[in-house]
């Protein structure tokens, strides 16, 4: 997947997608499978928006059951099961505990009913109730006071930005084109008002192009109303920020994900083991529109989350100083009212206007369903009729076709296949044995660094360390202690001179400091 130059690209397309988050990438991937000649344009890096800052769950959303959103939960459970099957090594089952405490609301009886409904939707009995002693044996640091036991159940988890990148890679392999750092400035229409294409510009080189297509998909997440204002509808966009804290697994040792009710407001808050660290979140608060380009955790959210982690795991005496990093993402919700943020619908929102189809909201989990909904609306605009088959597996290439004989563990091989698809074979093939080791404290191997730098359209160091790999979030100080080795592996394949490397490193450290550190505190 090499960087395309906008002015070298064909001018005419069947479809143009604006936005390289999960929705844009999911639509791109499904469209290219159908032979639709598709161009995807992303103004920053792929997955730079909300899709690299989620809770990383592929889940039914147990809490949505309590809100009576049975349809959304059922669709999400079905897609969870399909993704686990279709994308091993990228989407993996995750065991959860939902502890039950004395005087808690909802209590054991209500939660038990929810668990049964959750199992029914998956057509599989997956939950079991543990007594307090048995639960504490599995999760010894949980608060024992008033503990009545807890439900064990399954959801799944993903590396969100790697899912986006895999979809884009596969879409490019199917014949599509995807350009990052390419902003759509304007949507063009003909005299009848029908969509005719877009004006796009490479935001760094200034290379500009007019592209033509009879259908344009606006999948720009929090930026959605900038290209397609909501004038004339009853809706307004709400931006809801969710923030997470990241701890080392020594600081917060859990062997399952744990979902507890926050003592302050009774919201479900998750403790999630992920990529060798443990995430704790999320908040759900109004976010200022002026800040959508740069979401970060606030002091108030930090206090709320620390209060939660201390209440659930009191014997660990965790403080904000233990936090490795933080991250914050913005949810786009279309609302007619000013409800409690957590009560707002997580369904996706679609609008069409003479060839312009805007889609936003929804969940990472249901990205395929959303992609099919969009393509059904786009169908009449093509000169041929692409047949959408919702029964196909996600990725067409067979995992078993890749033979990897490297001495790596089965887990690592699966992980590489899940993240890089067929590229996994090249990754191993191009690698020196010393780079097959894990980066300490992570499941990532050193060899992934030169591979993503060379083949995955990374323009900046931050693209490599925050989205293609997640070292910026999972390593203390954004991985600054490993910078020498990172440089040795990446600089030669990127072709950057020393001055460029220094500049990239400084920019990266500034981003980490500004958006991924704890408020009011330097990096660990």
Ligand X SMILES: Cc1cc2nc3c(=O)[nH]c(=O)nc-3n(C[C@H](O)[C@H](O)[C@H](O)COP(=O)(O)OP(=O)(O)OC[C@H]3O[C@@H](n4cnc5c(N)ncnc54)[C@H](O)[C@@H]3O)c2cc1C
Nearer to ligand X by C-beta: 157 or 248?
Answer: 157
* Six token digits for residue 471: 């070292």
| Distance of alpha carbon 84 from alpha carbon 335, whole angstroms | 32
Before 282, cis peptide (omega within 30)? yes
Of positions 23, 278, 394, 466, contacts ligand X by CB under 6 A: 23
Q: Which of 32, 249, 168 is nearest to 455 (CA)?
A: 168
Nearer to ligand X by C-beta: 184 or 246?
Answer: 184
282 forms part of the interface with ligand X (CB under 6 A): yes
Q: Write out the H or E segment, with its range, that includes residue 513.
A: none
CA distance readout (Å), 63 to 85, 199, 305, 396: 24, 42, 18, 33
Nearer to ligand X by C-beta: 467 or 487?
Answer: 467
Of positions 60, 89, 197, 222, contacts ligand X by CB under 6 A: 222
Burial category of 454 from C-beta neighbours within 10 Å (exposed 0-12, middle 13-18, buried 19 and up): middle
Length of the chain: 524
225 forms part of the interface with ligand X (CB under 6 A): no
Instruction: Tally Cβ neighbours within 10 Å of residue 402.
Output: 17
360 forms part of the interface with ligand X (CB under 6 A): yes
197 forms part of the interface with ligand X (CB under 6 A): no
CB of 385 to ligand X, least distance (A): 26
CB of 182 to ligand X, least distance (A): 7
472 forms part of the interface with ligand X (CB under 6 A): no
Three-state secondary-structure class, residue 297: coil
| Distance of alpha carbon 77 from alpha carbon 87, whole angstroms | 15
Using CB under 6 A as the criterion, what x/- string covers residues 55-74 for binding ligand X?
Answer: xxx-x---------------
Q: Write out the H or E segment, with its range, that includes residue 458.
A: none
CB of 23 to ligand X, least distance (A): 4
Name residues contacting ligand X, limited to 299-358 (CB under 6 A).
329-331
Of positions 75, 177, 220, 457, contacts ligand X by CB under 6 A: 220
Of positions 37, 69, 108, 183, contacts ligand X by CB under 6 A: 183
Q: Which residue has the tokens 């979030």?
A: 473
Cα dihedral across residues 511, 218, 7, 185: positive or negative: negative
Task: Identify which range of 51-59, 105-113, 306-314, 384-392 contacts ligand X by CB under 6 A.
Answer: 51-59
How many residues contact ligand X, by CB under 6 A?
38
CB of 94 to ligand X, least distance (A): 11
41 forms part of the interface with ligand X (CB under 6 A): yes
CB of 229 to ligand X, least distance (A): 13
Nearer to ligand X by C-beta: 71 or 107?
Answer: 71
19 forms part of the interface with ligand X (CB under 6 A): yes
CB of 323 to ligand X, least distance (A): 16
48 forms part of the interface with ligand X (CB under 6 A): yes
* Six token digits for residue 296: 């970060």
Determine contact, residues 273/141, Cβ cutoff 8 Å. Answer: no
Of positions 29, 162, 363, 482, contacts ligand X by CB under 6 A: 363
Q: How far is CA 269 from the centre of its chain?
A: 18
242 forms part of the interface with ligand X (CB under 6 A): yes
Using CB under 6 A as the criterion, what x/- string covers residues 375-414 for binding ligand X?
Answer: ----------------------------------------
Q: Which letter, b or e, does each residue of 147-183 get, where b requires 16 or more Cβ atoms within 10 Å of its Cβ? A: bbbbbbbbbbbbbbbbbbbbbbbbbbbbebbbbbbbb
Of positions 169, 358, 365, 518, contacts ligand X by CB under 6 A: 365
Q: Which letter, b or e, does each residue of 498-511 get, where b requires 16 or more Cβ atoms within 10 Å of its Cβ? A: eeebeebbeebbeb
Q: Write out the H or E segment, with its range, that includes residue 163.
A: helix 160-173
- List residues near ligand X by CB under 6 A: 18-24, 41-44, 48-51, 54-57, 59, 183-184, 219-223, 227, 242, 282, 329-331, 360, 362-365
């Amino acid at each position: 997947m090499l960087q395309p130059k906008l002015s070298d690209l064909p001018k005419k397309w069947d479809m143009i997608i604006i936005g390289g988050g999960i929705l844009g990438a999911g639509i791109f991937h499904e469209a290219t499978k159908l032979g639709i000649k598709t161009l995807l344009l992303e103004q920053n890096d792929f997955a730079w928006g909300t899709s690299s800052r989620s809770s990383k769950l592929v889940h039914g959303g147990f809490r949505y059951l309590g809100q009576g959103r049975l349809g959304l939960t059922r669709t999400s459970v079905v897609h969870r099961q399909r993704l686990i099957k279709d994308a091993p090594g990228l989407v993996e089952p995750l065991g959860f505990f939902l502890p039950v405490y004395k005087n808690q609301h909802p209590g054991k009886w209500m939660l038990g009913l929810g668990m049964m409904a959750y199992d029914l939707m998956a057509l599989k009995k997956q939950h079991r109730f543990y007594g307090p002693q048995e639960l504490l044996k599995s999760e010894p640091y949980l608060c024992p006071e008033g503990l009545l036991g807890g439900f064990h159940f399954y959801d799944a988890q993903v590396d969100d930005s790697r899912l986006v990148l895999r979809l884009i890679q596969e879409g490019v392999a199917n014949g599509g084109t995807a350009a990052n750092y390419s902003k759509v400035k304007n949507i063009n229409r003909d005299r009848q008002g029908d969509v005719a294409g877009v004006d796009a510009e490479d935001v760094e080189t200034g290379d500009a192009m007019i592209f033509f297509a009879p259908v344009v998909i606006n999948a720009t997440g929090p930026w959605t109303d900038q290209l397609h204002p909501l004038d004339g509808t009853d809706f307004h966009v709400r931006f809801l920020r969710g923030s997470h804290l990241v701890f080392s697994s020594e600081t917060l040792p859990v062997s399952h994900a744990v979902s507890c009710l926050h003592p302050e407001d009774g919201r479900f808050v998750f403790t999630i083991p992920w990529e060798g660290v443990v995430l704790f979140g999320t908040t759900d608060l109004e976010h200022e529109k002026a800040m959508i380009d740069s979401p970060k955790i606030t002091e108030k959210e930090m206090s709320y989350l620390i209060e939660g982690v201390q209440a659930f795991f009191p014997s660990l005496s965790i403080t904000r100083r233990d936090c490795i990093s933080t991250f914050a993402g913005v949810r786009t919700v279309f609302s007619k009212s000013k409800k409690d943020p957590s009560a707002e619908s997580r369904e996706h929102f679609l609008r069409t206007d003479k060839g312009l189809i805007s889609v936003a909201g929804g969940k990472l989990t249901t990205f395929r369903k959303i992609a099919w909904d969009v393509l059904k609306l786009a169908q009449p605009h093509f000169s041929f009729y692409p047949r959408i088959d919702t029964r196909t597996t996600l990725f067409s290439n067979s995992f078993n076709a890749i033979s990897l004989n490297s001495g790596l563990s089965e887990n690592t091989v699966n992980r590489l296949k899940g993240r890089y698809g067929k590229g996994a074979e090249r990754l191993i093939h191009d690698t020196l044995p010393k780079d097959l080791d894990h980066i300490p404290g992570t499941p990532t191997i050193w060899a992934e660094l030169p591979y993503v730098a060379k083949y995955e359209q990374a323009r900046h160091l931050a693209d490599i360390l925050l989205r293609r790999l997640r070292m910026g979030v999972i390593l203390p100080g954004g991985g600054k202690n490993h910078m020498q080795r990172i440089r040795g592996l990446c600089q030669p394949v990127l072709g950057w001179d020393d001055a460029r490397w220094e500049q990239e490193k400084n920019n990266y450290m500034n981003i980490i400091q500004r958006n991924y550190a704890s408020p009011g505190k330097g990096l660990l």
